[in-house]
Amino acid sequence: MGSTRRRRNGALTRFSFLVSAGPRMRAGLFPATGKPPSMLGGHFSMLAFDSARTTLEPIANAPSHPLSLRAAIEVNAGMVVNSVLELIGRTPMVRARHLDAGQCELFLKLESANPGGSIKDRIGLSMIEGAERAGKIKPGATLVEGTAGNTGIGLALVAQQKGYRLILVVPDKMSREKIFNLKAMGAEVVLTRSDVAKGHPEYYQDLAAAIAEKTPGACFINQFGNADNPAAHEATTGPEIFEQMEGRVDAIVFGCGSSGTMTGLSRYFEKVSPRTEFILADPVGSILAQYINEGTLSTKSASWMVEGIGEDFLPSISDFSRVRKAYAITDKESFLTARELLKKEGILGGSSTGTLLAAALRYCREQRERKRVVTLVCDTGNKYLSKLYNDYWMLDNGFLDRQPTGDLSDLILRPYLRRDTVVVGPNELLVTAYNRMKLYDVSQLPVMDGEKIVGILDESDLLMHVYGDETRFRDPVSTAMVSRLDLLPVNSSIESLLPVFERGHVAIVVDGEKFLGLITRIDLLNYLRRRVA
């Protein structure tokens, strides 16, 4: 196919890379007009997409770019759209090349490429447009939802573009990035407890329902019972996968939160490829894996840290009838697998992506014949930079292992010898020290003169020094630091930390003359917590 032919019907889609077109498949659901989706009307107008083509060919007479760059340009050089909502769906599919998928071929559908960064943009659009069509909401109405974050972002995107007020009830285990994102989009966020189950008034869905009930004219979106949730996947995600895979999909590995993805994909594949196996990836602690593998429904769930998937009840829209097998994946394996995906394939996925990928890899390695397996990168890892992509957070939670030394070094989160400790010099300005404390979210800084620790500066030293005369922020650190230091040899017992903390200090750990790092109360708490985990 030459460069002059790459436009069909005058429109380039995000999938229209320059390719040798394999057999083109149309699932019959897509308008083939190539018009901007907004002009198409109808429920799933976002899907005016063209084809699933894989092998790249050079563009004729365009020798100046390397092939890969030209391919990237072609993939992205779509038409100009009139709203970010038109960019929902039509997400790319990537073949994994460096992960060990045994006999199988593993494909990753990048739902992270949606404008709100997750698969939930699809249902944000379909549920709000569904409510509009059903006459449940009028212009300016208030929408209420309980959400782990991504549905909130999808809804916020659509609500903001269409002019609705949005109140979201979010469990407090969700990452800060998602909450900042929601607030920045104009949503009103109500944080609630993560440690209570369905039926409790503070459970996020129950609280959302209660808020909707007492807010005049409000509409409770209720993704867990909303038929427009699976419908979005039946009409968009499913056909996209089928087309991109040229109709050859042996298995799909997915996660289940509201169950919309599973139910929608099941319904679509039932029609076009009933032999496709459905495999559930579930966090350890959720009740779903046991339900699939043993047929029993536990009344007890435990907590897990992966976000967006796993359940403690069966949502009313769920249809598990096509699910053959489930894998229960620990938080640790999920987070490490997500990090492996970034290292090996360059794909920055969220925490649940790690769960899905871990299950997909297990499934792939168990197969005795070559199968084409699809899994989802459900959201972008940008939402989890402070968590699973933060080595300190991983260490604190016991998800990364360091070789234990058996002494106080095991409690030092940021060892100085590895240049991990945030420090300040005695001649630097107090304002610099203040900025560094804020940037790294620490309350004290060791003051280092070369390799020697000469003092410590904490928030209260700084406050006492500048209070009453703010120009003192420009004094050197040495004028405010404490220089009579309470040093603790590295081979001291853990108990010896307690009197240091009781005096309100942090422990400064040394090996002879060498400064090794600080230990704070929270470091000791994390250490003790890891021992019981």
Q: Which residue has the tokens 């005795």?
A: 368
Contacts of 188 (CB under 8 A, 6+ apart): 165, 166, 167, 168
Looking at the DSSP bridge assignments, the partners of residue 19 are 56
Q: Is 56 helix (H, G, I), strand (E, B) or coil?
A: strand
- Check 352, 371, 387, 409 and give the catalytic one: 352
CB of 223 to ligand PLP, least distance (A): 6
Cβ proximity to ligand PLP: between 170 and 433 the closer is 170
Of all residues in this chain, which one has the CB nearest to ligand PLP in the complex?
308
Cβ proximity to ligand PLP: between 16 and 229 the closer is 229
Cβ proximity to ligand PLP: between 18 and 309 the closer is 309
Reading the block at residue 359, the tokens are 């299950």
452 is catalytic: no
Q: Which residues bind ligand PLP (CB under 6 A)?
A: 118-120, 150, 254-262, 307-309, 350, 352, 376, 378-379
Cβ proximity to ligand PLP: between 304 and 416 the closer is 304
Contacts of 294 (CB under 8 A, 6+ apart): none
Distance separating alpha carbons of residues 92 and 62, to the nearest angstrom: 24
CB of 171 to ligand PLP, least distance (A): 13
Distance separating alpha carbons of residues 383 and 326, to the nearest angstrom: 26
198 is catalytic: no
Cβ proximity to ligand PLP: between 34 and 349 the closer is 349
CB of 366 to ligand PLP, least distance (A): 21
H/E segment holding residue 277: strand 277-283
Contacts of 381 (CB under 8 A, 6+ apart): 112, 338, 342, 348, 349, 350, 353, 388, 389
Distance separating alpha carbons of residues 379 and 76, to the nearest angstrom: 19
Q: Are 516 and 416 in contact (CB under 8 A)?
A: yes
Cβ proximity to ligand PLP: between 315 and 455 the closer is 315
Q: Is 298 helix (H, G, I), strand (E, B) or coil?
A: coil
365 dihedral zone (left: phi>0; alpha: psi -120 to 50; beta)? alpha
- Check 45, 51, 112, 120 and give the catalytic one: 120
CB of 350 to ligand PLP, least distance (A): 6
Burial pattern 498-527, b for ≥16 Cβ within 10 A else e, equals eebeeeebbbbbbeeeebbbbbbeebbebb
| Type of residue at 143 | L
Distance separating alpha carbons of residues 176 and 166, to the nearest angstrom: 19
Cβ proximity to ligand PLP: between 146 and 350 the closer is 350
Distance separating alpha carbons of residues 195 and 204, to the nearest angstrom: 10
CB of 87 to ligand PLP, least distance (A): 19
CB of 258 to ligand PLP, least distance (A): 3
Distances (CA, A) of 528 to 201, 241, 500, 533: 32, 46, 17, 9
* Active-site residue list: 120, 352
